[in-house]
Amino acid sequence: MAERGRVRRMNSSTPSSSSASKADSDVPLIWQRGQDHFSLFSKLIKQELDDETAMVEERWKKWTKQRLVAAGLTLFDLNGRPQGRFFGEYIITFESRNGGRMPQHRFGNGDIVLISRTRPWGEKILEGVVLDRGPTRIRVVVAERPSDLRKGNWRLDRGANRVAHDRMLEGLMSFHSTEDSTGTPLRDLLLGSVHDIATSSQSPPEIHGQKQYGPLGISQLPLNESQRNAVESAIGKRLTLIQGPPGTGKTHTAVQLLRTLVKMGRGPILATAESNVAVDNLLEGLLDNGVNAIRIGRPVKVREGLREATLDAILKNHPAQEEIEFIRKENEAVKRGLSDLRGKDKGLAHKEVNNNYKEIRRLERTMIDGVLDGAEVICTTTIGSGHKLLGNRRFPVILMDEATQASEPSALVPITRGCRQLILVGDHKQLPPTVISREAERGGLGRSLFDRLIKCGMPTHMLTTQYRMHPTIREFPSARFYDNKLEDGCTPADRPPAAGFLWPDWDKPVAFVPIEGFEVEDEEGKSKSNIDEAAKVVSIVNDLLAAGDITTQDIGVISPYNGQVRLLTDLFYQAGGFEDGEPYNGLEIKSVDGYQGREKEIIIFSAVRANAAGEIGFLSDKRRLNVAITRARRGLIVLGNPITLRHDGTWRSYLDWAEEHNLFAWHITHS
């Protein structure tokens, strides 16, 4: 194992952004009164929903059709047609009326869309989920299909997610409930209102009636030392925080911990994460390790190869479905004959129909309970854990992966399901929860429960061996963000630099490409782009692909600004396109926020900001830089204006490090 690299002048205690500092100073870390906690977060949840709804409605009512299309937020003048079913729900295919290519848009698999005729704010709308998309069509899954689907025009819009806000509020109410058992035994500990939070967290969880299945064999698990220490510590505590820096195997550790807890008979266990991608990663790991895990959530939002492990798929193939189908057909026959009946006979027929419906619901509930009772681990998103399918089901053990991406009210949704042992896995040095309302973010909604508990004095178990990055890519983030504690589980030979790019130092596959350029603000003043950087990105990607060492699937293009993501998408679209058979099929262009938990062989990062005032906005959030520069395995290429970026302390430190190692790629700038 390689030695830990050390970097000079890397002060890891750089202050956070002003908004984060303000939130930290204004919002209590330790809550002496539960009422104060409830009052604040109920207000913040409402503020977030109000601001998100207002933003969407303003967009609908004030933006022109051209502006909505240019932003990729709305598709107009669509034809709709049915295309079968998807796990019991209906598939609708929407196409342009002229049959041509659709404009570039921001609808992808799993996204919630609102379906309307002309005005989503003034008519009945349908909510659907995107199944997939192509150059000329987009397929959407809906619970009910309109009878006039083939008539007239349709439009698709992005809207506010009201369900998430409702479930957060319900979770908050349950967390503070004193009238029944819906609250959690961990409430005082999580509020920090105990004498010593660190000592209290180490108490063994009060889980009774469980039987261990056999020797745990933790020493035999595929874990390194820091991962094994985290697992051994977590199994005996009622509250554990596991910090996993980039590439250190957070999810792998979480899976092995869940596997161990199952062996201890601690089930049923609820495994959650904020995003569907993170939940899918947990599910995949559990299934690969022989754990009986079931996924809760609409199959359309689940990775295709894992859909058979969803509750919907299992229920679809359940033996009781034959009986349910028989009763449904019987009901339809009775309903068809109602018009011919009179008096008492008609009343008896109605009663039979109602009884049949009750029997169907009973059989469905029996099926669901039977399937869930047999599961060792149930996987769902934090918000999904509030689904009615789970009923009043209790989970004494809850593990939350990517816990630092969940707002505190979001984290409370699963916790209120009777949690007695809580394991939070995440990294507070990476991106925080996504919050739309700036006021709600400043009020404390942008800080995760994981982060607050650390500030309250909770110790963490840090994973210290990274397996993702070439050691040079690891060097700066380890020094700047993790006190030089990261060590390498891979060697330079394991991560050879990619051909097709002239690295400043072939032994160090990191490059900073200075671009003078200029930034441009979009119409609504909420995002920015930089055409000079974008053009150079296209050139670099073409060179990498031409060399034949890597494919489009190996390259990730990321930027902190959605405006730059849209510009890059347009440029690559114009240069050849992303669909099957087109040159950039498989190339991913995303925001930094959309790339946490992901990795690629090559990462190309466009910083965008270039102005005389030296303003870099939220790019100054060191967590965003940390995520951006730790996604790459074999090569990291950063494009930016060094004069502008040097106005920020963290970026200045990064550029100093790059200069010291002769990693400035001036030859690429002028090529």
The residue type found at 183 is G
| Distance separating alpha carbons of residues 409 and 413, to the nearest angstrom | 7
Could you tell me where the beta strands, DSSP code E, fall in 151-207? 154-157
- Enumerate residues 6+ apart whose C-beta is below 8 A from 339: none
| Distance separating alpha carbons of residues 327 and 355, to the nearest angstrom | 10
- Enumerate residues 6+ apart whose C-beta is below 8 A from 270: 377, 378, 380, 385, 395, 397, 398, 399, 414, 417
What's the token pair of residue 230?
A: 């985290």
Low-confidence ranges of the chain (pLDDT < 50): 1-6, 8-23, 182
Strand, helix or coil at 99? coil
| Distance separating alpha carbons of residues 135 and 104, to the nearest angstrom | 9
DSSP 480-538: HHSTT--EESS-GGGSPPPTTS--SSTTS-EEEEE-----EE-TTSS-EE-HHHHHHHH
Neighbours of 6 (CB within 10 A): 10
| Distance separating alpha carbons of residues 469 and 334, to the nearest angstrom | 66
- Enumerate residues 6+ apart whose C-beta is below 8 A from 517: 530, 531, 532, 533, 610, 641
| Distance separating alpha carbons of residues 475 and 479, to the nearest angstrom | 6
The residue type found at 62 is K
pLDDT of residue 19: 42
| Distance separating alpha carbons of residues 114 and 136, to the nearest angstrom | 19
Helix axis angle, 162-175 to 34-62, nearest 10°: 170
Q: Are the beta carbons of 173 and 142 closer than 8 angstroms?
A: no
| Distance separating alpha carbons of residues 563 and 569, to the nearest angstrom | 10
The candidate with the shortest Cα–Cα distance to 293, out of 337, 328, 338, 261, is: 261
Q: Are the beta carbons of 270 and 417 closer than 8 angstroms?
A: yes
Q: Which residues of 219-258 are buried (b: 16+ CB within 10 A; e: fewer)?
A: eebebbebbbbbbbebbebbbbbbbbbbbbbbbbbbbbbb
| Distance separating alpha carbons of residues 557 and 603, to the nearest angstrom | 6
| Distance separating alpha carbons of residues 608 and 592, to the nearest angstrom | 12
pLDDT of residue 463: 98
What's the token pair of residue 327?
A: 């009763």
| Distance separating alpha carbons of residues 478 and 7, to the nearest angstrom | 9
| Distance separating alpha carbons of residues 426 and 405, to the nearest angstrom | 8
**Using omega within 30 degrees of 0 as the cis cutoff, is the peptide bond preceding 268 cis?**
yes
pLDDT of residue 525: 55
Could you tell me where the beta strands, DSSP code E, fall in 186-238? none
Tell me the average pLDDT of the chain.
90
pLDDT of residue 28: 87
pLDDT of residue 339: 77
pLDDT of residue 209: 60
Element (H, E) at 401: strand 397-401
| Distance separating alpha carbons of residues 639 and 534, to the nearest angstrom | 9
Judge residue 135's burial from the number of C-beta atoms within 10 Å of its C-beta, 0-12 exposed, 13-18 middle, 19 or more buried: middle
pLDDT of residue 595: 83
pLDDT of residue 5: 44
The strand pairing partners of 239, in sequence order, are: 422
The residue type found at 646 is R
- Give whole-number Cα distances, 620 to 534, 537, 589, 617, 626, in Å: 21, 22, 21, 6, 11
The strand pairing partners of 126, in sequence order, are: 115
